[in-house]
Amino acid sequence: MKNKLAIVVPAYNEEKVLKQTIKVLTQLIRDLQPKQIASDSFILFVDDGSTDQTWNFIKTASLQNPMIRGLKLARNFGHQYALWAGLMEVRSQVDFSISIDTDLQDDPTVIPQMINDYEEKGWQIVYGVRNNRDNDRWLKRTTANLFYKVMNLIGTHIVPNHADFRLMSRKALDLLALYPERQLFLRGLIPQLGLKTGKVTYKRQTRKAGQSKYTVPKMLNLAWNGITLFSNALLRVPTLLGILTFLLGCVLGGIQMLNMHHVSWNLILFLIVSSTILISLGIIAEYLGKIFNEIKGRPRYLIEERTIRHD
Ligand code: UDP
Ligand code: MG
């Protein structure tokens, strides 16, 4: 029996490109059946609270073609949440999923390669990684590179140049579902699952129609979530500043006491008092970080496999 696939596609105000996407993806599924995937494989569009004709298009398409399914969120929750909703919806029904954006910027022609890697090599997660950023505007390219540098610096493992175009096996989806946190940054979460993973590279296209739904505030919010949800490094800033302020106070105090140069005692006192406040804040921040980690409720361990029980 062939493995059953669900392609999960979040869509927010995508009426301009949706018809073309439906055509391309249904053709892709038809080409893959029945040799590579099960005949009841399907495409799930998640309408993330669109205000245009997106949902109507999805509904009409689903009536005409049983391969198309739709899920309408009650309002605009954001890409990460729409994607999560889609993945959790299909999890119990399929052997594996592939998530892709509606605008066809991620190249669907590498999907057969992804499936091949999942089936032949046993990869549980296959990341779609873009091989260049030629199609990005300067601002997006620069901020993206800066983001990957910062993430590396604070020690968070994410796959560079990978957005949310990826294959996940049922096992990977089941492990992902064990993460109960509310605020999502899937690109940070999924590498934490472990499992056998791999990459396929592709050339990211320009948007086929419509405009980017990732406004600058939405993009910054995503990056900020990535940084703050996966590292408590920023909470150490007050401690660091406190230590520096204290050292500066000591040096200036020494200079004054040794009569090397006149330094105001007011300044020295100010630095010492500031440093105690900053270090105290830093201590509170350490506990806050621990509380934050606890509250996320991430699983302590993940089981990949068990041997068969004989009892
Ligand atoms: N999207 C969504 N909710 C949002 C914003 C975007 O579901 O609030 C979807 C959008 O329809 C698309 C995907 O997320 O399928 C990526 O968005 P977009 O292509 O606009 O982002 P970009 O490629 O410009 O970063
Ligand atoms: Mg896009």
Q: End-to-end alpha-carbon separation of the chain, Å?
A: 29
Strand-strand pairing, 162-169 and 125-130: antiparallel
Q: What is the pLDDT of residue 164?
A: 95
Ligand 1 neighbour 246 (Cβ under 6 A): no
Q: With beta carbons less than 8 A apart as the criterion, state whether 130 and 204 touch.
A: yes
Residue of 71, 70, 54 whose CA lies nearest to 19: 54
Q: Atom of ligand 1 at shortest distance to CA of 83?
A: 7
Q: Residue 7 and residue 156: Cα distance in Å, rounded?
A: 28
Q: What is the pLDDT of residue 156?
A: 82
- Show Cβ contacts of residue 92 under 8 Å, excluding neighbours closer than 6 positions: none
- Three-point CA angle 168, 187, 78, nearest 5°: 100
Q: What is the pLDDT of residue 22?
A: 96
Burial of 51 (0-12, 13-18, 19+ CB in 10 A): exposed
- Show Cβ contacts of residue 33 under 8 Å, excluding neighbours closer than 6 positions: 2, 39, 41
Ligand 1 neighbour 21 (Cβ under 6 A): no
Distances (CA, A) of 301 to 17, 54, 191: 41, 40, 14
Task: Give, using CA atoms, the residue closest to atom 25 of ligand 1.
Answer: 214
Q: From first to last of the 311 residues of the chain, give the pLDDT tens digit.
A: 899 999 999 999 999 999 999 999 999 999 999 888 999 999 999 999 999 999 999 999 999 999 999 999 999 999 999 999 999 999 999 999 999 999 999 999 999 999 999 999 999 999 999 987 777 778 878 888 888 888 888 878 889 889 999 999 999 999 999 999 999 999 999 999 999 999 999 998 888 888 888 888 888 888 898 899 999 999 999 999 999 999 999 999 999 888 888 889 999 999 999 999 999 999 999 999 999 999 999 999 999 999 988 87
Ligand 2 is an ion; residues with CB less than 5 A from it:
101, 103, 105
| Helices of type H across the chain | 15-32, 54-64, 79-90, 111-120, 138-153, 170-176, 186-189, 216-230, 237-257, 265-296
Task: Give, using CA atoms, the residue closest to atom 17 of ligand 1.
Answer: 213
From the CA of 178, how far away is ligand 1's center (Å)? 25
From the CA of 14, how far away is ligand 1's center (Å)? 9
Residue at 303: amino acid letter: I
Ligand 1 neighbour 52 (Cβ under 6 A): no
User: Cα-atom radius of gyration of the chain, to the nearest Å?
Assistant: 25
H/E stretch holding 94 reads: none
Token pair, residue 32, equals: 């893959």
* Residue 53: DSSP 8-state: S
Q: What is the pLDDT of residue 140?
A: 79
Single pTM value for the model:
0.90
Ligand 1 neighbour 212 (Cβ under 6 A): yes
Distances (CA, A) of 310 to 107, 306, 307: 46, 12, 9
From the CA of 206, how far away is ligand 2's center (Å)? 8
Q: Residue 245 and residue 221: Cα distance in Å, rounded?
A: 31
Q: What is the pLDDT of residue 288?
A: 97
Ligand 1 neighbour 12 (Cβ under 6 A): yes
Ligand 1 neighbour 77 (Cβ under 6 A): no
193 torsion bin: left (phi>0), alpha (psi -120 to 50), beta (else)? alpha
Question: Which ligand has the minimum distance to the alpha carbon of residue 77?
Answer: 1
Question: Which ligand has the minimum distance to the alpha carbon of residue 164?
Answer: 1
